[in-house]
């Protein structure tokens, strides 16, 4: 199942993914859209094995140049959208006692070596903390639910 907010680009990706691909247009910055995606996935596929939170955006601003809008947007897209996804799929994973949740972060979330990517780095640090805390939360009671983060380097998007 593929999820994205831009219908045309999503349709192209689904076509390239093969005839079994299912696509859902959704805005992952909206909690209600996550609930709709979970329902659609379970309705069409029966269950969810893996959930990948991969929405993200970046801006290039030094800390001294950040506006409230810049910072709020980084946190909404890079952190809150993943939080919404984690919280939306968790009841299903808990019920099944299994699942793998993957959050796509960045190497800048571990080592903030690019000052001009300040808000992006901060948002990815926050995502890493939420990911680690969820892993710790679930380990004692739900060992079949795995929580991972991926930290790619520079990516042309």
pLDDT at 45: 94
Say if residue 36 is in the same domain as residue 65. Answer: no
Catalytic residue among 41, 120, 134, 138: 120
Say if residue 89 is in the same domain as residue 140. Answer: yes
pLDDT digits (tens, 9 = 90+) for 33-50: 999 999 999 999 999 999
**Where does residue 78 rank: exposed (0-12), middle (13-18), buried (19+ CB within 10 A)?**
buried
**What's the number of domains the chain is made of?**
2
Residue 3 — left, alpha, or beta (φ > 0 → left; ψ -120 to 50 → alpha)? beta
Q: Given pLDDT bands bounded at 50, 70 and 90, which one contains residue 157? A: low
pLDDT digits (tens, 9 = 90+) for 2-19: 999 999 999 999 999 999
Say if residue 98 is in the same domain as residue 142. Answer: yes
Domain that holds residue 78: 48-157
Partnered with residue 121 across adjacent β-strands are: none
Say if residue 76 is in the same domain as residue 24. Answer: no
Q: pTM above the 0.75 mark?
A: yes
Q: Is there a catalytic annotation at residue 84? A: no
Say if residue 2 is in the same domain as residue 40. Answer: yes
pLDDT digits (tens, 9 = 90+) for 129-145: 999 999 999 999 999 99
């Amino acid at each position: 199942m593929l999820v994205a907010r831009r219908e045309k680009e999503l349709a192209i990706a689904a076509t390239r993914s093969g005839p079994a691909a299912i696509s859902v247009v959704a805005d992952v910055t909206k909690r209600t859209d996550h609930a709709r995606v979970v329902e659609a996935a379970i309705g069409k596929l029966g269950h969810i094995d893996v959930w990948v939170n991969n929405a993200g955006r970046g801006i290039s601003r030094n800390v001294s140049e950040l506006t409230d809008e810049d910072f709020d947007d980084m946190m909404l897209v890079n952190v809150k959208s993943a939080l919404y996804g984690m919280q939306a799929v968790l009841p299903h994973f808990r019920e099944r006692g299994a699942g793998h949740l993957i959050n796509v972060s960045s190497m800048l979330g571990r080592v903030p070596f690019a000052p001009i990517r300040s808000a992006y780095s901060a948002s990815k640090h926050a995502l890493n903390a939420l990911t680690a805390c969820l892993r710790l939360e679930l380990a004692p009671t739900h060992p079949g639910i795995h929580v991972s983060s991926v930290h790619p380097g520079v990516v042309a998007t």
